[in-house]
A and B are shown apart, each in its own frame.
Chain A
Amino acid sequence: MILRSALRIARTEFVASLRDRMTLVYTVLLPLAMYPVLFWVMIQGYLILEGKDRRTEVTVALVDMPATLDVERVSRALESPLGLDAGAPATDALLDDESIELIEGKVDVRRLGAHELEREHAVRDRDGFDAVVWFHDERPTELLFDGARSRSKLARDRVEARLTEYGLELRAVELERAGAQLEDFDPFALETVDLADEKDIAGLLFSLILPMLFVMMTVLGGFYPAVDATAGEKERKTAETTALLPVPPFAIVLGKILAVVWAAALATSLNVAGMALAAEHLMSGLGEAVSLEPPWGAMLRMTPFALVFLFFTACVLVAAASMTRTFKQGQSMLGAVQMLFLFPAIVGTLPVFDLAATNAWIPVMQTSLVFKALLQGSSAPATAGPAAFAIVLVTGLGYALAATWLAVALRRREDLFDEGFDPKTLLSFRRRKLPR
């Protein structure tokens, strides 16, 4: 009977809250659009910056270049995106090889004598050179640049990359003439091989963001419905109307909590779906080899923990917001509560913390840790055994029940029902209770 009444109240509260513009924005629109928009902005920003870098022409001076080097070939290597002599026959074929990273961007090369340039000001003058390669007889060649100028740093990157490649090419040619290979002189030339499959990589990537995202979206999704169902009700003068319902206060509070649970679950589901779609689209757009398909199996195993956390969060939000009288007060109160949730959630996602029996009881952090362990799957640490999972579930349920009790107790306080939070009286046990 109580559950049926609570479900009826929850349905009405949920429908009413979804008719509120702010709730709709924070529960549906923002979670769904957040990642596609964020990723789109990131891609556009990246493309704009990269495009700008590629279009930027830098001027580089070669000072006191020894006669043993062919200035024409060095210049061509600096101008080539491969850092190779563009005149060499193999270069065209290499340019077509997609696995080789190209260092795009034009470099204008000038050759100077040491007397033509003052070393200290060689690159500090904005109208002068962006980088200077200064050759010395007795000591290593210097690459001078201005670390305070992005254009100069760009010139440094291009020169460094291209001259390194060109140096390797020269060595390879000389060794080939002598009948040897470059690799023969480098026993530690490594080719890295990643044995992790796509699923493991996706699990790791999701374990870095999903736990915190889940906590954040649960709080964000439940934020407005919780304020709306408590402080908003007082502000709109419908709290008394609700109190006249022929159902116990427990059913009313449970109904409100369930409405907040549904809103938070909706926000979280939409957010995860939005993120998965955006990530998939991003990866396919960038032509990445790794597929970012969400680890559905792990997510299914996360469900009981997620439900407990959703319920706990909704109880805390409803209890906290019920201490306030106006929507504005409710927002301020839950703003502080939101921080109390985010901090342990962030700590839980840090690589130094793994799920273990010793930390599995810490509220909120336990959710981050258990999600991380489940998403990492077989890569999860050994401490994340059945005992740790059981502790998370049992203590999580305990916290949820305690928070429900608190929400009901606060609802039944006359002073909070009528007015709102008064720090002087909040902890007083002399408050008269409302009829059951």
Chain B
Amino acid sequence: MTTPTTDPIERLAIRTEALKKSFHDPERGVVEAVRGVELGCRYGEIYGLLGPNGAGKTTVLRMLATILAPSAGRAWIDGVDVAADPLEVRRRLGFLSASTGLYARLTPRETLRYFGTLHGMAKPALEARIDELIDAFDLSKFVDQRCEGLSSGQKQRASIARAVLHDPPVLILDEPTTGLDILATSDMIEFLGSRKSESRCVLFSTHVLSEAERLCDRIGILHDGRLFASGTLAELRARTGKTYLDEVFQALIADAGAPAA
């Protein structure tokens, strides 16, 4: 197990250093999906990762979640190196994406018990935590129904409960509001705000600029595998001279396009 360092820089909740990922494609050869991303997210901060399709957002998040191994560079979650100690990283991380579905034939309660047990939670503490999450995410009506019969919104609430069950200091969400209706989206935004107020770090990717504008303390723009802009909305506005985030985004993407071309 990696001992978290006391170095102030490394005490960032999420940090990456020249993070790279390349895939071998039988037809296209080596494809560089992420090209040296440098990222830092603080505790008590919501960081939004924006970028067009294929920019490499999901790949970055999956490397941080230890689902993919970086080809080069390093990354730390709560001070723990993702390559050196992925198990410890998973204990300190809550991760949610379109690919982290719920087990269709288990109920939300069974899923929570399953994850809680494997996170090493003692039974009384686990049951108390499950009750707490049932209240927090209003799961009581369907907590004992099999997940295959739940609506998208119910599944998303149960998935979030699964991701925060072990109360991780870092939460990474890949397009968390995709497919949700207005009410469920509103609940999600409220939930992300609550994590921030509990001094947790939230990193999420999104296509919805209004969400990022409303929620994020800082925003990173990822394009063609590179993070070429990162800062508060005010800083990005100042850099581009644009007012609205969609204009800022387009201006930054256009800037990024030139060297990439």
A and B are interacting partners: yes
* A interface residues, Cβ below 8 angstroms from B: 5, 8-9, 12, 15-17, 19-20, 236-241, 243-248, 414-415, 422, 424-425, 428, 430-436
Contacts of B90 in A (CB 8 A): 244-246
CB distance from A410 to the nearest CB of B (A): 16
Check B3 for interface membership: any CB of A closer than 8 A.
Answer: no
Which one of B60-68, B130-138, B217-225 contacts A?
A: B60-68
For residue B71, which residues in chain A have a CB less than 8 angstroms away from its CB?
A: 432
Given contacts A236-B101, A422-B26, contact A435 B86 (CB under 8 A): yes
Interface residue B239 (Cβ < 8 Å from any Cβ of A): no
Complex alpha-carbon distance, A8 and B62, angstroms: 25
Verify A19–B67 contact, CB threshold 8 A: no
Say whether B47 faces chain A, with CB atoms less than 8 Å apart. Answer: no
Chain A residues within an 8 Å CB radius of B245: none
Q: Which residues of B sit under 8 angstroms from A239, Cβ to Cβ? A: 99
Residue contacts A-B, CB under 8 angstroms, 12 given: A12-B106, A16-B103, A19-B146, A238-B104, A240-B99, A244-B65, A248-B87, A414-B23, A422-B26, A431-B24, A435-B66, A436-B86
Least CB distance from B110 to A in Å reads 8
Instruction: Kindly list the 5 A-B residue pairs having the minimum CB-CB distance in the complex, ordered from nearest.
Output: A435-B86, A237-B101, A19-B105, A246-B90, A240-B99
B228 contacts A by Cβ under 8 Å: no
Say whether B67 contacts A238, CB under 8 Å: no
16 more CB-based (< 8 A) A-B contacts, given A5-B118, A434-B68:
A8-B114, A12-B110, A20-B105, A236-B103, A237-B98, A237-B99, A241-B100, A241-B102, A243-B67, A244-B90, A244-B93, A244-B95, A245-B90, A245-B115, A246-B91, A414-B69
Task: Verify A434–B106 contact, CB threshold 8 A.
Answer: no
Which chain B residues border A246 with CB–CB below 8 Å?
87-88, 90-91, 118-120
Q: Which residues of B contact A (CB under 8 A)?
A: 23-24, 26, 62, 65-69, 71, 82-83, 86-88, 90-91, 93, 95, 97-106, 110, 114-115, 117-120, 146, 162
Residues of chain B within 8 A (CB-CB) of A17 are 105
Residue among B86, B91, B95, B110 having the largest count of chain A Cβ atoms under 10 Å: B86
A426 vs B162: C-alpha distance in the bound complex, in angstroms? Answer: 34
Q: Which residues of B contact A424 (CB under 8 A)?
A: 26
Query: Chain B interface mostly helix, strand, loop or mixed?
Result: loop
A238 CB contacts on chain B under 8 angstroms: 100-104
Q: State A244–B114 Cα separation when bound (angstroms).
A: 12
- For A240, give its contact among B91, B97, B103 (CB under 8 Å): B97
Measured in the bound complex, the distance between the Cα atoms of B119 and A56 in whole Å is 75
- List B contacts of A241 (CB < 8 A): 100-103, 162
Taking a contact as CB atoms closer than 8 A, the residue among A9, A20, A415 that contacts B118 in the complex is A9
Asked if B65 and A414 sit within 8 Å, CB to CB, the answer is no
- Chain B residues with Cβ under 8 A from A8's Cβ? 114, 117-118
Instruction: With both chains docked as a complex, state the minimum distance between the C-beta of A259 and any C-beta of chain B, in angstroms.
Output: 13
B146 CB contacts on chain A under 8 angstroms: 19
Min Cβ gap A183→B in Å is: 73
On whether A425 and B118 interact (CB within 8 A), knowing A237-B101, A245-B90, A432-B71, the answer reads no
Minimum Cβ distance to chain A for residue B71 (Å): 7
Q: Which of B67, B104, B117, B162 contacts A434 (CB 8 A)?
A: B67
Report the Cα distance A434→B71, complex, angstroms: 11
Complex CA distance for A431 and B119, rounded to whole angstroms: 30
Q: A244-B90, A245-B118 are in contact. Are A435 and B69 (CB under 8 A)?
A: yes
Instruction: Give the residue name and chain of the A residue nearest to B63 (CB).
Output: A435
A132 to chain B, nearest CB (A): 70
Complexed CA–CA distance, A434 and B91 (Å)? 17
B52: min CB distance to chain A, Å: 21
Given contacts A19-B105, A424-B26, A425-B26, contact A247 B99 (CB under 8 A): no
Which residues of A sit under 8 angstroms from B117, Cβ to Cβ?
8
Least CB distance from A249 to B in Å reads 10
Chain A residues in 8 Å Cβ range of B162: 241
Q: Shortest beta-carbon distance, A63 to chain B, in Å?
A: 75
Whose C-beta in chain A lies nearest to the C-beta of B174? A240
Kindly list chain B residues whose C-beta atoms are within 8 Å of the C-beta of A244. 65-67, 90, 93, 95, 100
- Chain B residue with the shortest CB-CB distance to A11: B114
A21 to B88, CA, bound (A): 37
Closest approach, in angstroms, between the C-beta of A414 and any C-beta of chain B?
6
Contacts of A240 in B (CB 8 A): 62, 67, 97, 99-101
- In the bound complex, residues from chain B placing their C-beta under 8 Å from that of A15 are 105-106
Docked-complex contact B114 and A12, CB < 8 angstroms: yes
A435 to B23, CA, bound (A): 15
Known: A12-B114, A245-B90. A433 touches B69 (CB 8 A): yes
For the complex, what is the distance from the CA of A5 to the CA of B117, rounded to whole Å? 9
A233→B257 CA distance, assembly (Å): 38
Report Cα–Cα, A432/B21, bound state, in Å. 10
Instruction: For B91, list chain A residues within 8 Å (CB).
Output: 246
Q: B122 to chain A: closest CB distance in Å?
A: 14
